[in-house]
Structure 1
Amino acid sequence: MTPQPTPARIVEPNGEVRVGWFDRPFVYPNLQDARPQHALAGLHGGPFQGLEKRFRRWRLKQWQYGSVVTDSTLFACAVVDVGYLGSAFAYVVNRHTGERFEWAAKQPLSQRVAVAQSSIKGTSRFERRNWGHIDIHNHPDNHQRVVSVRLHGELGAVPKPPLRVELRIFDDPQHIQPIVVVEQSAPKLWLYTHKSYGLLVEGSLQCGTIQQRLQCGDGLAGFDYNRGYRQRRTWWNWAAASGRTNDGTIVGFNLTAHRPWTTQGSQRNTPPDAADCGFWLDGTLTKLSRVDFAYNPDSLLEPWHIFDADGLVDLHFAPEGKRSEHTHAGIVTSLFHQPYGHFTGTLSARAGRKVTLENVYGVTEQHYALW
Structure 2
Amino acid sequence: WDFWEVFNDNYRVVLNIFDIGLAGVAQFTLTDFNTGKSTNASLTRLFTRGSVGHPPSWRYERPLRFAKGNDWMEFDRAGDDVHLRLEFPRKKISGEITLHKDPGMDSMVNLIPFKNPKQFVYAVKIMCMPARGSVAVGGQEYPFSEENNSWGVLDWTRAVFPYKNHWKWCIASGRVDGVPLGFNIDYGFGTESSKSMIIHDKRGHHLDVVEYQHDRKHLDKPLHITSPDGRVDLTLVPKFFEKAGVDIGILAMKGINTYGYFTGKLVLDDGTRITIKESDKLFGWAEEYVQKW
Per the alignment, do residues 177 and 216 of structure 1 end up closer, same or farther by CA in structure 2, a change over 3 Å counting? farther
In 1, the alpha carbon distance for the partners of 2:17 and 2:220 equals 26
C-alpha deviation, 1:308, in angstroms: 1.4
Of the candidates 50, 57, 66, which is equivalent to residue 126 of structure 1?
A: 66
Deviations 1:300-356 (A, max 9, x none): 44432222122222222233132612143x853222433323322222212214131
The percentage of aligned residue pairs carrying the same residue is: 22
In 1, the alpha carbon distance for the partners of 2:113 and 2:19 equals 20
In 2, the alpha carbon distance for the partners of 1:103 and 1:341 equals 24
Aligned partner of 1:209 in structure 2 is 140
In 1, the alpha carbon distance for the partners of 2:283 and 2:129 equals 14
Aligned partner of 2:285 in structure 1 is 363
Per the alignment, do residues 136 and 152 of structure 1 end up closer, same or farther by CA in structure 2, a change over 3 Å counting? same
Is 2:32 aligned against 1:94? yes
Residue pair 2:166, 2:289 contacting (<8 A) in 1 also: yes
Deviations 1:177-224 (A, max 9, x none): 000121213231222111111112222332343342636995221111
| RMSD, aligned CA | 2.8
In 2, the alpha carbon distance for the partners of 1:298 and 1:97 equals 21
Aligned partner of 1:50 in structure 2 is none
In 2, the alpha carbon distance for the partners of 1:318 and 1:331 equals 35
Q: Which amino acid is 2:175 matched to?
A: R
Per the alignment, do residues 332 and 125 of structure 1 end up closer, same or farther by CA in structure 2, a change over 3 Å counting? farther
Residue pair 1:114, 1:123 contacting (<8 A) in 2 also: no
TM-score normalised per structure 2: 0.84
Describe how 1:229-308 pairs up with structure 2 within 5 A.
229-245=160-176, 247-258=177-188, 268-270=190-192, 272=193, 275-297=194-216, 299-308=218-227
Aligned partner of 1:264 in structure 2 is none
In 1, the alpha carbon distance for the partners of 2:221 and 2:69 equals 38
Describe how 1:1-371 pairs up with structure 2 within 5 A.
63-70=1-8, 72-110=10-48, 113-121=52-60, 122-129=62-69, 132-139=71-78, 142-152=79-89, 154=91, 162-174=92-104, 176-188=105-117, 189-207=119-137, 208-212=139-143, 214=145, 218-245=149-176, 247-258=177-188, 268-270=190-192, 272=193, 275-297=194-216, 299-319=218-238, 320-322=240-242, 324-328=244-248, 331-351=250-270, 352-358=272-278, 359-371=281-293
Q: Which has the higher strand share?
A: 2
Per the alignment, do residues 202 and 370 of structure 1 end up closer, same or farther by CA in structure 2, a change over 3 Å counting? same
The count of aligned residue pairs is 285
Per the alignment, do residues 185 and 301 of structure 1 end up closer, same or farther by CA in structure 2, a change over 3 Å counting? farther
In 1, the alpha carbon distance for the partners of 2:256 and 2:245 equals 7
Residue pair 1:69, 1:242 contacting (<8 A) in 2 also: no
Residue pair 1:193, 1:276 contacting (<8 A) in 2 also: no
Per the alignment, do residues 300 and 144 of structure 1 end up closer, same or farther by CA in structure 2, a change over 3 Å counting? same
Residue pair 2:267, 2:274 contacting (<8 A) in 1 also: yes
Deviations 1:227-269 (A, max 9, x none): 1122221100111121223x2222212111215xxxxxxxx43
In 1, the alpha carbon distance for the partners of 2:146 and 2:221 equals 35
C-alpha deviation, 1:152, in angstroms: 4.2
Q: Which amino acid is 1:193 matched to?
A: A
Q: Which runs of 5+ in 1 are unaligned?
A: 1-62, 155-161, 260-267
Q: Which has the larger radius of gyration?
A: 1
SS at match of 2:63: strand
TM-score normalised per structure 1: 0.68
